[in-house]
Amino acid sequence: MKPSENDQLRRALEQRRETLVQELSQDTARVRENLEEEAVLDLTRDDAELRDIEAALRRMDDGSYGICTDCGVEVGAERLHAEPEAARCIDCQRRHEKTYRA
Q: What is the pLDDT of residues 18-39, one digit of tens each?
A: 999 999 888 888 777 776 677 7
Q: What is the pTM of this model?
A: 0.80
Q: What is the pLDDT of residues 63-82, one digit of tens each?
A: 999 999 999 999 999 999 99
Instruction: With CA atoms as reference, report the closest residue to 51 among 82, 28, 24.
Output: 24
Report how far apart, in Å, the C-alpha atoms of 44 and of each of 21, 51, 56, 87, 97 are: 13, 11, 19, 19, 18
User: 59 pLDDT band (50/70/90 cuts)?
Assistant: very high
CATH class of 3-99: mainly alpha
Strand partners, 74: 67
Domain positions in the chain: 3-99
Judge whether 27 and 50 are in contact, CB under 8 Å: no
